[in-house]
Amino acid sequence: MLENVLIYGLINGMVLALLAIGFALTFGISGIANFAHGALYILTGYTVWVFLHTLGTPYLLAIFLAMAITALIGAAIYNVILLRIRGMRSSEIIATFALALAILEAFRFFGFVGAKYTLPTFVEGSVSVAGVIVDYQRLILIGVGAGLVGLLWFFTHYTKTGLAFRAIAQVERTALTLGIDSDRMATLSLAFGAALAALAAIVLLPLGQITVETGLNVLLNALAICILGGLGSVTGIVAASLLLGYAQIITVTYIAPHWLMVVTLVAIFVVLLVKPSGLFGKQKELEERV
Amino acid sequence: MLEINNLMVFYENALAINNLSMQVNEAEIVGLLGSNGAGKSTLMHTISGLTLDMKIKEDRRGGERITILGEMKFRGKDIMNTKPSDRVKMGIVLCAERHPVFPESNVIENLKTGGYLRKQSEVKEMLEYVFNLFPALVELKKREAGFLSGGEQQMLSIGTALIAKPSLLLLDEPLLGLSHAIQPKLVEAIKRIRDETGIAILVAEQYARPLLRILDQGYVIENGSLTFSGTGKELIDNPDVKAAYFGV
């Protein structure tokens, strides 16, 4: 029982981290809360499905194409929709949320509903870890999550674009005086965030069914993690994901599965009461973070 | 190299820069003296493109509160409608007032950020130069910039601007808030930058006394327009200027 909680808590934590990291990245760099994050996640799932089943593209190629498409849509969201309302935070949220609803309802409208909308796992089979059965897809997602965190850390500390991301997130005006273009950075931040939503979808969707409703759940989870962890750092996101991941699994195992969503909401509630800047947030005020 | 003719900047209905003409020649140190609110920073921001950037962002949202009129040329090219990042590419780099470093990045990361538009080899070369100019920064490489003292942050902020490889460096109130012990050292560093690299420097200051001896040219700005212009020596000798700005 305990081994089960330990291993599946870790997996659940990694799932949450994957869902939230793109949202947090975009917001951290450009201050834009992309409420279409969950819709992009689902969009990627359906895109891969269409490539696989309608066009017969090989799985690996379909994955890369879907990620590229989602990233381009992310960039387009900034340049077509957000450009004119940049800096007006509530308008940004309303616009991206409206887009999310439009994307999700369009899929429902065109009949993307039903049990046939699933993606194949990368590798079939499972393995026993300390007496607990874990399938390969879940092991892969732990690897992808951990790898991604490492890669992001390297990217933001050792590459020009990464340093520019951190610079513009800290003091926009100084970044401008050094030749860092704010529109270019915002476009990139949305494209990166979208690509990370796509990556999460590709790794996580094979574990279940692609449904329209998942889109809003993904958004809610991403928001919960960001509020919990505070949008200061990747560390905050990972720590919050693990915390919430374990809390959810412990609740499911020892209390009852239907309390699952309550855990998330209670966690948000308690953190907002006790430390509104999030557990790892750096002085940022509440309204600055959604 | 920089030529400004009849520049006017309006914020809503307030006239921030009024019919201002001035120039900066290659490898010169030019002073822009004026009291609080005289328009020094507005002029610096307008030359670096920040005012234009603000205007573009305002216009997108439907606001029409900033107007920039007149002529600005850099090495013969019109830059009135050039965005800030392109001006940096051309060689105009602003080091804004109150040493605005990136507080959560460490010193070396701050400096490298300055090299965003430059090649790896250029950045390496300039890093060496900056550490030579401000040896105090070498020991602080791994320290977060937010934890540096005011003087150290000012050195870092000028250093970061230098990594961007300017040919015209705009320094907005570099001496502001620094102790009297540090001020002469910084003035010496500013002179060294020009002497050793040939970078032209336009420096805006309120308390200009420590700067005076290194100026080739000086302007005095009041309420958005120039009230005096001349060589550094003329500036020192002018009784009105003396009384108003150097506390004599």
Contacts of A177 in chain B (CB under 8 A): 48, 50, 84, 88, 93-96, 161
Q: pLDDT tens digits for B50-62? A: 999 999 988 888 8
What are the helix (H) ranges across chain A? 2-30, 37-53, 59-76, 89-109, 136-158, 160-170, 172-177, 182-204, 212-229, 234-254, 260-274
pLDDT at A24: 93
pLDDT at A87: 83
The residue of B102, B162, B172 whose CB has the most chain A CBs within 10 angstroms, and thus the best one to mutate to test that interface, is B102
Mean pLDDT of B84-105: 93
Q: Is A154 near chain B, with CB under 8 Å?
A: no
Q: Tell me how far apart the alpha carbons of residues B149 and B180 are, in angstroms, rounded to a whole number.
A: 14
pLDDT at B237: 82
Does B215 score more than 50 pLDDT? yes
Does B145 score more than 90 pLDDT? yes
pLDDT band, residue B169 (cuts 50/70/90): very high
> How far, in Å, are B4, B85, B131 from residue B70 at the CA level?
8, 21, 39
Q: What are phi and psi of B30, to 5 degrees?
A: -115, 130
The number of beta carbons lying within 10 Å of the beta carbon of residue B247 is: 9
Our CA dihedral for A195, A27, A207, A255, rounded to 10 degrees, sits at: 170
Contacts of B61 in chain A (CB under 8 A): 84-88
Nearest CA to B57 out of A85, A152, A158, A49 is that of A85
H or E stretch at B8: strand B2-11
Q: Is A118 near chain B, with CB under 8 Å?
A: no
B138 lies in some domain = yes
CB contact under 8 A, B109 and A84: no
Nearest CA to B150 out of B173, B128, B132, B129 is that of B173
Q: pLDDT tens digits for A59-95? A: 999 999 999 999 999 999 999 999 989 888 899 999 9
Does B247 score more than 70 pLDDT? no
B91/B241: higher pLDDT: B91
Q: How many domains does chain B contain in total?
A: 1
Q: Tell me how far apart the alpha carbons of residues A39 and A213 are, in angstroms, rounded to a whole number.
A: 9
CB contact under 8 A, A176 and B161: no
Q: pLDDT tens digits for A192-226? A: 999 999 999 999 999 999 999 999 999 999 999 99
Which parts of chain A sit beneath pLDDT 70? 231-232, 281-290
What are the helix (H) ranges across B67-167? 84-90, 107-114, 120-133, 136-140, 150-163
Largest CA distance in chain B: 50
Q: Tell me how far apart the alpha carbons of residues A85 and A20 are, in angstroms, rounded to a whole number.
A: 24
Burial class for A158, CB neighbours closer than 10 Å (0-12, 13-18, 19+):
exposed
Six token digits for residue A178 = 């050094």
With the C-alpha atoms ordered A186, A188, A189, A195, is the resulting torsion angle positive or negative? Answer: positive
Domain boundaries of chain A, sorted by first residue: 2-212
The CA-to-CA distance between both ends of chain A, in Å, stands at 38
H or E stretch at B232: helix B232-237
B65 lies in some domain = no
pLDDT at B228: 87
pLDDT at A285: 45
Could you say which DSSP state residue A77 is in?
Answer: I
CB contact under 8 A, A170 and B53: no
Does B208 score more than 90 pLDDT? no
Task: Report the mean per-residue pLDDT for chain B.
Answer: 91
Mean pLDDT of B86-92: 95
Six token digits for residue A88 = 């007006």
Helix (H/G/I), strand (E/B), else coil: B174: coil
CATH number, domain containing residue B118:
3.40.50.300
The residue of B54, B106, B108, B113 whose CB has the most chain A CBs within 10 angstroms, and thus the best one to mutate to test that interface, is B113
B68 lies in some domain = no
Q: pLDDT tens digits for B25-76? A: 999 999 999 888 899 999 999 999 999 999 998 888 887 789 999 999 999 9
Q: Tell me how far apart the alpha carbons of residues A123 and A60 are, in angstroms, rounded to a whole number.
A: 12
**How far is the alpha carbon of A86 from chain B, nearest alpha carbon, in Å?**
8
pLDDT at A8: 93
Contacts of A163 in chain B (CB under 8 A): 105, 109, 112-113, 116
Mean pLDDT of B81-101: 93
Nearest CA to B77 out of B66, B67, B86 is that of B86
The number of beta carbons lying within 10 Å of the beta carbon of residue B220 is: 23
Which candidate from B50, B105, B115 shows the least CB-CB separation from A176?
A: B50
pLDDT at A209: 92
